[in-house]
Chain A
Amino acid sequence: MNLLKGPSARAAAGFAGSAVVLFALAPLLLSDFRLGLLAKYLCIAMVAVGVCLAWGRGGLLTLGQGVFFGLGGYAMAMHLKIADAGPGNLPDFMQLYGTATELPWWWQPFANPLFALAATVLLPMAVAAVLGSFIFRRRVKGAYFAILSQALAAAFAIWLIGQQATTGGTNGLTDIQGFFGYDLDDPVNQRMVYFVIAAALLLLIALARQLIHSRYGELLVAVRDSEERVRFLGYDPANVKLVAYVVAAGMAGLAGALFVPAVGIISPALIGIVPSIEFVIGAAVGGRASLVGAVLGAVAVAWAKTALSEEFPAAWTYFQGLLFIVALAFLPGGLASLVGIVRRRRATAEQKAAVIPVGEAA
């Protein structure tokens, strides 16, 4: 596959170039604290790439991306906790509760770093594949799908909270010290984590772009716009949707996995109903159908949340509500569509300007 395929390939190359430069410059311009925040936002942007694919392109409003984010995050955190504890020891919170004398069986595979790394992406994809094939085969769609995905997020968070002795309950897995032998407290290593995240984000954007500009991408949009016609053409829309859902889940899983070393914690509060919906809002504000829009929107909304909610928690909630309303009710294409709207306005204005002299002449 040619990376520079599809329309506006030059724009994409320009975007990639400037993104690489910006990401490389950021550690020089930002304090360590701000850089940590940026790493966190970029993780959220990774989820937004998947949302752009599944929802913006495929029309699958998934309100349960927190589940996949959480699966990736917990898979990574479980390995890091085991590694922190050292061979033969239990992770600190398990010792605290004193209920477990040895590692629960479903923790044990995560002691293996390769298994844990693979699981951060493959586990969410597998869950999405099973659930998606059940849902899409029976043509459960639209609102029904959105509600089910949301219920999944709620159930997953409640389940995690319920299994306190083995999942850390409400607290989640906290206080993660090391990352594959590197000390996470060291700013140098934090910078390394940031670079990994930035590179992963660019990789995911490139991957999504390839998918969108492939035959599959066109099929996905066709399913969104008229599922029946695609079915009559001999394709199975269920498979088309399933691929988008599974890829989006994998992206969210990777985002969750990288979120853990960047922030040092994963907990049910980060993956329940509310965060799951927040993963969607960034993409919606930036422009759900545009990759760049979705990514920039996710970063901007996450940044606005930090900036506003530190100072005025109440104001942030009102602002967030307004964002939902304005972006979705009045600007469904998001901020990315403003460019097109302005361009069209200008074009019509020029047309009018061109027409008037003729009228005067007549």
Chain B
Amino acid sequence: MTVILGQTFTGISIGAVLLLIALGLSLTFGQMNVINMAHGEFIMAGAYTTYVLQKSISSAGISLLVALPVAFLVSGALGALLEWLLIRRLYLRPLDTLLVTWGVSLMLQQLARDIFGAPNVQTRAPDVLTGNITLLGGDDPLTVANNRLFILGLAVTAVVALSLTLRLTPLGRRIRAVVQNRDLAEVSGISTSTVDRTAFFIGSGLAGVAGVALTLVGPIGPTMGTNVIIDAFLVIVVGGIGQLKGTVIVAFVLGVLQSVLEYSTTVSVAKVLVLVGIVAFLQWRPQGLYTLRTRSLV
């Protein structure tokens, strides 16, 4: 029983990381229907921001709290810059954006390598986050790592904040309008280019926050973005483009699935099985779990 619960919680914590990584991507993917391969490097930028801040701030706890907003701003600025320089010119050719932003990601990786060196670096976790909490007592206790709980909380906070922004603020209304019907939004007086850039800022900023979270569970290195980006894309594909609800559900389902499969097979077999499962799922719902209702023919 404890084993099942333990694996489930591991799965949920994998899911929380996936969710944080995919959340921003879901917004930028839904916004302009372009695929930003450099999203992984925005995550990396968030992680390195944490690293730099910890060098100058001695208290690990304070530096982590400072890193969250700063990483949001740094990665968000990178995203807005990328949108302004390249993506807005390409949004009618989404497949080309994929490769163009891959080029950007290569350059950002190399930049990180030149600035911080090729070997991975590490940050210190605050003392509060290093221990475990025992959730179930008894002979066979279920313990949960504090840093995993923190990431779960961060993911939930990010989802709630994004969801409220999209639902309640004028900006959120404009973003949803552009996602649903760009042309109609434009003729209704919404400046779609401004909305695009703002959405990119927020989405990329969320990547930065995900980067801060990743420093708690692994090393920081130039290739860390590449390692996570595929998983994030799979979450979006299965969840449905631009669908917050789908992203949240799928992130946790894939996380738990991965964790359970890893427990019963091996990590590499689990990856293959998850992919097979995704292809099978797309037979049932080719547009993902949730889709925008449109009048398009597909």
Chain A contact residues, CB within 8 Å of chain B: 59, 61, 63, 131, 134-135, 137-140, 142-144, 146-148, 150-152, 154-156, 158-159, 161-163, 228, 273-274, 277, 280-281, 284, 314, 317-318, 320-325, 328-329, 332
Contact = CB atoms under 8 A, between A and B. Distances in A.
Contacts of A154: 230, 271
Interface of B: 29, 33, 35, 86, 89-90, 93-96, 98-100, 102-107, 109-110, 113-114, 226, 230, 233-234, 237, 266-269, 271-272, 275, 278-280, 282-283, 286, 297-298
Given A138-B286, A147-B35, A321-B106, A162 B95 contact: no
Contacts of B106: 317-318, 320-321, 324
B107 A329 contact: no
Top 4 A-B pairs ranked by shortest CB distance?
Answer: A162-B268, A324-B103, A321-B107, A321-B106
Given A139-B298, A314-B110, A324 B102 contact: yes
A154 B274 CA distance: 12
B89 A162 contact: no
A161 B278 CA distance: 22
Contact of A329 (B90, B114, B268, B297): B90
A228 B296 CA distance: 10
17 contacts: A135-B279, A140-B282, A140-B286, A142-B95, A143-B95, A148-B279, A148-B282, A154-B271, A156-B272, A159-B272, A314-B114, A318-B106, A320-B106, A322-B103, A324-B103, A324-B106, A329-B90
Contact of A162 (B100, B233, B266, B297): B266
SS class of chain B's interface: helix, strand, loop or mixed?
Answer: helix
B237 A321 contact: no
Given A155-B275, A317-B109, 8 more contacts: A142-B95, A147-B233, A162-B267, A317-B110, A321-B110, A323-B103, A324-B103, A328-B99
Contact of B286 (A139, A143, A332): A139
B102 A146 contact: no
A246 B268 CA distance: 26
